[in-house]
Amino acid sequence: MPAVRRGDRLRTLEGDPARHLVHGLSEAGRALSDSRGQVRSRATLKQSIARWAFVPVVAAIVLVADQWTKALVEKNLPMWGAFAPFPALEPWFKLVHYSNTGAAFGLLRGQSSLFVLIALVVIVAVLVFARQLPTDNWAVRFCLGLQLGGAAGNLLDRLLKSGHVTDFLLLTLPVGGKVYQWPAFNVADSSIVVGVILLGILILGSDREHAAGERVTS
């Protein structure tokens, strides 16, 4: 039987279909792994962008709505004027044009410098807190966006209008011949209040779930 030379043996192995198949599968596996890594990287990038962008986007929507509605009121209603857009709701709701130097709902009038400082602190605190949140915590981010947009809306008013804020939503409650009036407010005030209330509800719900989980495990 003739001896198989070393070169012939190597050529035989190189031409082996099974060897080519294994090599092809290995290359395909590496390509798939690289592809999955790229997908994960893109997903991580999208999550990072979403984490950073969601709160400012919500805040920007609130800010635009706040400034747009204030501009409409300032253009179409004289100072201290009133208008009932829905006659059937006139006893309870009116549009007005008031100038406010206080906080939301007319509280602490004449303290504009203090409220500018408070608004700046709130804006920084919201941005820092939002950065610490888990990526998937969209509900809390939404609440923070509402508060950020509201704070920015009233801050912009104070900076551009010599410490004044435009209020235009007025709720009244007629009872027994008397009319009880809630202080006028605006979209920014509403956004801040709704954001705080929703955030409180989320925190209470989370605490209850945590307490229930502890009772189950104990």
Query: For the residues of 186-211, what is the DSSP string, one character each?
Result: -HHHHHHHHHHHHHHHHHHHHHHHHH
Per-residue model confidence (pLDDT) at position 28: 63
State pTM to two decimals: 0.72
Q: Is 207 a catalytic residue?
A: no
Residue 179 has pLDDT above 90, yes or no: no
Residue 76 lies in a domain: yes
Residue 102 vs residue 137, higher pLDDT: 137
Catalytic residue among 8, 16, 66, 167: 167
Residue 44 lies in a domain: no
Residue 16 lies in a domain: no
Domain count, the chain: 1
Residue 145 vs residue 47, higher pLDDT: 145
CA geometry: angle 15, 6, 26, nearest 5 deg: 35
Residue 203 has pLDDT above 50, yes or no: yes
Containing structural domain, residue 71? 53-217
Residue 11 lies in a domain: no
Residue 10 has pLDDT above 60, yes or no: no
Residue 119 vs residue 114, higher pLDDT: 119
Catalytic residue among 8, 16, 136, 189: 189
Q: Is 16 a catalytic residue?
A: no
